Amino acid sequence: MGSTSRVIPIQPALPLTAPEGEVARILQICNACRYCEGFCAVFPAMTRRLEFGKADTHYVANLCHNCGACLHACQYAPPHEFAVNVPQAMAQVRLQTYHDYAWPPVMGALYKKAGLTVALALAGGLALFLVLAVAMSGALLHEPLAGNFYAIFPHNFLALIFGTVFLFVMFALAMGTRRFWREVSPANDPGNAPDLPGVRRAASAEAARDALRLKYLDGGHGEGCNNDDDRFTLWRRRFHHFTFYGFMLCFASTCVATLYHYLFDLHAPYALTSLPVLLGTAGGIGLVIGPVGLLWLNLRRHAAHGDAAQRPMDRGFIALLLLTSLTGLALLAWRDTRFMALLLAVHLGVVMALFLTLPYGKFAHGIFRCAALLKFAIEKRLPSRLRLGAE
């Protein structure tokens, strides 16, 4: 009579969409087989569940790196009647999560439209607008200005425009990630709550390490992914690294230049041997090699490896990254010529298009994937709630 019992409220199950239902069906088959358990994080995460609700399908779909290894190893893959295709089913749910967690929600529809045509049209439109603005001032073709970009666009103007866009992009991505994390967080399981604080630090370090190394693009055996046939290749992992670290070097270049300007009162243009230029050049080269390689692999990818509906979005994002690096390197090479204003206007237009589409294009998959990796790193340090066997 005097004892108290803990009542855990039962949350009604949300109905699954067709892609979510397909992921749930496939993972129940995979749970009975478990041949691919050592391939990547998806399958160990799968074994901690007997049923797959909406949050579970969103979690494992973003944990999947679409390497294709499980499809080529699966005895139940098409044309088997079970028609198990993990990469394709996961890709379809990932696209849905990008749409569902977009902020503001009304912008989620852009995921279905952020294709190659839209990306090029937006970049071309913004670049044309800036070119016309410069032409109206009479400075489109000019005497060499020793690379002084601020003679064309004042520093404070650029800082205000791009600073505003950057803050909006970061806020939109943060809001989307927050909504995703609130749904899939291990804290949603009441039995895990007391143990969470003790595992978060180690789990965060592991998730960061796995994300930075792209651990799960090695196929589970270190030899790489399958792209268009049964052969393994590490090139997809390498091109992702070129792209990611090229982007980060360009971002570092901007940060260093900002410190130079505001902290040390050192104003652009900077010498070719200066740290901002060296970082930007290395990043630009990485953003040429990586996107060219990813586009080449995307064009050759086996149709069964992913969702065909996402290819325009993938290629649009790759195209914007490539255009950003090419126009940036061209601007650096010809900054001391009379074409500097024209090149600057084109480059700024492309960069603006890239940033405006970041929250509503393929960039979001990296953010959600990091969140899924963190959940996996936390979850595997906690006791399984299934309590099977010796657990």
390: pLDDT strictly greater than 50: no
Tell me what the mean pLDDT of segment 59-70 comes to. 92
Q: Which of 382, 68, 345 is nearest to 199 (CA)?
A: 382
Token pair for 222: 């270190």
52 and 136 inside one domain: no
348 vs 307: which has the higher pLDDT: 348
* DSSP-assigned letter for residue 103: S
List, for residues 159-190, the tens digit of each pLDDT value: 999 999 999 999 999 999 999 999 887 766 65
Single residue among 102, 125, 156 that ends a domain in this structure:
102
List, for residues 347-378, the tens digit of each pLDDT value: 999 999 999 888 888 888 899 999 999 999 99
Residue 389 lies in a domain: no
Q: Which of 326, 331, 325 is nearest to 343 (CA)?
A: 331
Tell me what pLDDT residue 3 has: 47
Name which of 91-95, 137-141, 206-210, 321-325 the model is least confident about.
Answer: 137-141
Tell me what pLDDT residue 196 has: 63
How many other CB atoms are found less than 10 A from the CB of residue 203? 22
Q: What is the DSSP string of 133-187?
A: HHHHTT-SS-S--TT-GGGTS-HHHHHHHHHHHHHHHHHHHHHHHHHHHHHH-GG
Query: In the chain, what percentage of residues exceed pLDDT 90?
Result: 57
Angstrom CA distances, 335 to 127, 151, 262, 270, stand at 17, 12, 23, 11
Tell me what pLDDT residue 13 has: 60
Q: Which of 41, 110, 30, 88 is nearest to 360 (CA)?
A: 110
Tell me what pLDDT residue 10 has: 47
Tell me what pLDDT residue 388 has: 52
246: pLDDT strictly greater than 70: yes
Q: What single letter denotes the amino acid at residue 194? A: P
Residue 139 lies in a domain: yes
386 vs 239: which has the higher pLDDT: 239
Distance between first and last Cα of the chain: 31
Report the alpha-carbon distance of residue 218 to residue 225 in Å, rounded: 6
65 and 189 inside one domain: no
What's the pLDDT band for 261 if we cut at 50, 70, 90? Answer: very high
Single residue among 62, 78, 102 that ends a domain in this structure:
102
190 and 269 inside one domain: yes
What's the pLDDT band for 114 if we cut at 50, 70, 90? Answer: low
Tell me what pLDDT residue 2 has: 47
181 and 58 inside one domain: no
Residue 112 lies in a domain: yes
Kindly provide the b/e burial profile for residues 282-312, where b requires at least 16 CB atoms within 10 angstroms of the residue's own CB: bbbebbbbbbbbbbebbeebeeebbbeebbb
* DSSP-assigned letter for residue 233: E
391: pLDDT strictly greater than 50: no
How many other CB atoms are found less than 10 A from the CB of residue 205? 11
Report the alpha-carbon distance of residue 111 to residue 331 in Å, rounded: 31
52 and 144 inside one domain: no
208 and 156 inside one domain: yes
Tell me what pLDDT residue 219 has: 80
8: pLDDT strictly greater than 50: no
Length of the chain: 391
How many other CB atoms are found less than 10 A from the CB of residue 7? 6
Token pair for 288: 């040429």
List, for residues 200-241, the tens digit of each pLDDT value: 888 999 999 999 999 998 887 888 888 877 888 899 999 999
Report the alpha-carbon distance of residue 371 to residue 38 in Å, rounded: 21
Residue 12 lies in a domain: no
165 and 213 inside one domain: yes
Q: Which of 191, 382, 32 is nearest to 391 (CA)?
A: 382
Report the alpha-carbon distance of residue 322 to residue 384 in Å, rounded: 44
Report the alpha-carbon distance of residue 189 to residue 184 in Å, rounded: 10
179 and 318 inside one domain: yes
Q: Would you say the C-alpha torsion 96, 102, 108, 110 has a positive or negative sign?
A: negative
Tell me what pLDDT residue 296 has: 94
Q: How many alpha carbons lie under 13 Å from residue 77 in its C-beta half-sphere?
A: 17
What's the pLDDT band for 15 if we cut at 50, 70, 90? Answer: confident
Tell me what pLDDT residue 190 has: 53
Name which of 214-223, 238-247, 263-272, 343-352 the model is least confident about.
Answer: 214-223
304 vs 292: which has the higher pLDDT: 292
93 and 140 inside one domain: no
pTM: 0.88
What's the pLDDT band for 119 if we cut at 50, 70, 90? Answer: confident
Domain that holds residue 193: 107-377
Mean per-residue pLDDT of the chain: 87
Assess contact for 320 and 350: CB atoms under 8 A.
yes
Give me the number of domains the chain comprises. Answer: 2
Angstrom CA distances, 255 to 93, 116, 236, 279, stand at 35, 29, 29, 10
Tell me what pLDDT residue 1 has: 44
